[in-house]
Structure 1
């Protein structure tokens, strides 16, 4: 049965690779698995057919035969376990790679998403200007810790893994903020990630859809 994922019919970022389907596309490209994409509108995401796949009415979803999954971390983990290419063979290295996957979405991403909330959803609130520097400093604290751990290595733990895929997907969202530039080794880490052929194919596929369906507004 073909693998089918869902993606925004019109991505809010216009195809810059920030929508979460990019993570799943990237993982599929890394493990060499073909897939199909079903585009959904914002309205369709809240309708029963899609809510049956994703109880929170978001994207992406993943279907393969009678298996249906949601949440990018869970989908990428499934792909990494089922297909070779994203997890090391050594048991201890494998466990560390999985730990980095969780660190990306549980420890690093929440502060980054908070920055998005302050800037775009709460920008007109009276407390926004005071809150923004506090949120940015929390991000700097996390990036400082991550930067120290990465050091001058290419990847977080030996060879590229699903841990790097998830971590890079999370922190590349900071490029527009300028915060990432304060950590040269992390900026280089993102550049290496985006230079991977699998990432380039995933990015191009998402961009092509959005080029034909520009975001509203």
Structure 2
């Protein structure tokens, strides 16, 4: 059964890898699974056909036979559990990798998205000048904790896992802010993730769509 994911017809970031379908593409590439991409416009995302797949009208979605999933973390976890390459055979190591997946989307990403909101969506608000430093400090605090835990290791818990895939994907959102560069160990960690051939293929596939050259995985 073919795997089909949905992605933006034109990504808001212009194909820089920040749209969440990149995470799913990356997971499929790491697992060596072919997939097809159905591109949707912002209008189509709010239509009944897409809402049946994603009740909140977002991307990505994942279809495989009778199975339809939404939410990036759930999709990546499904791929990791179904195929080799993203979770260890050791039960405890698998559990720790899944813990890092949840940490990425529940603990680290929210403060980063708050920063994105403060800078981009609320940049013209009268309270932004006072609020922005507070938001930036919350991001730095969380990154400091993560950097301390990572230390000099290549990955969060031994070998590369789905936990690293999700964490790197989340941290990539900070690149434009300059804050990631304040934490050299995390910047190097993200660079290692980007250097993985599977990530490079996922990034190139998304970029090709935004350059007008749709590419399947």
TM range (shorter): over 0.9
Is residue 149 of structure 1 aligned with residue 175 of structure 2?
no
Corresponding position of 1:132: 132
Corresponding position of 2:168: 168
In 1, Cα distance between equivalents of 2:44 and 2:115: 28
**Deviation for aligned residue 1:127:** 0.6
**Deviation for aligned residue 1:130:** 1.0
For each residue in 1:68-96, what CA deviation from the matched residue of structure 2 results, as whole angstroms up to 9, or x when unmatched?
00000000000000000000111111100
Number of residue-to-residue matches in the alignment: 213
Corresponding position of 1:83: 83
Corresponding position of 2:188: 188
Q: Normalization by structure 1: what TM-score? A: 0.97
Structure 2: state its 5+ residue gaps. none
Tell me the secondary structure at the aligned position of residue 100 of structure 1.
helix
Superposed CA RMSD: 0.7
Structure 1: state its 5+ residue gaps. none
Corresponding position of 1:29: 29
Q: Normalization by structure 2: what TM-score? A: 0.97
In 2, Cα distance between equivalents of 1:60 and 1:175: 22
Corresponding position of 1:120: 120
Corresponding position of 2:105: 105
Corresponding position of 1:67: 67
Runs of 4 or more above 4 Å deviation: none
In 2, Cα distance between equivalents of 1:96 and 1:87: 10
In 1, Cα distance between equivalents of 2:204 and 2:194: 11
**Deviation for aligned residue 1:168:** 0.3
**Deviation for aligned residue 1:129:** 1.3
Tell me the secondary structure at the aligned position of residue 160 of structure 2.
coil
**Deviation for aligned residue 1:207:** 0.2
Corresponding position of 2:200: 200
Tell me the secondary structure at the aligned position of residue 154 of structure 2.
coil
**Deviation for aligned residue 1:123:** 1.1
For each residue in 1:128-179, what CA deviation from the matched residue of structure 2 results, as whole angstroms up to 9, or x when unmatched?
1111111110000000000000000000000000000000000011011000
Tell me the secondary structure at the aligned position of residue 42 of structure 1.
coil
Corresponding position of 2:93: 93
**Deviation for aligned residue 1:99:** 0.1
In 2, Cα distance between equivalents of 1:7 and 1:51: 14
Tell me the secondary structure at the aligned position of residue 211 of structure 2.
helix
**Deviation for aligned residue 1:61:** 0.2
In 1, Cα distance between equivalents of 2:74 and 2:129: 35
**Deviation for aligned residue 1:62:** 0.2
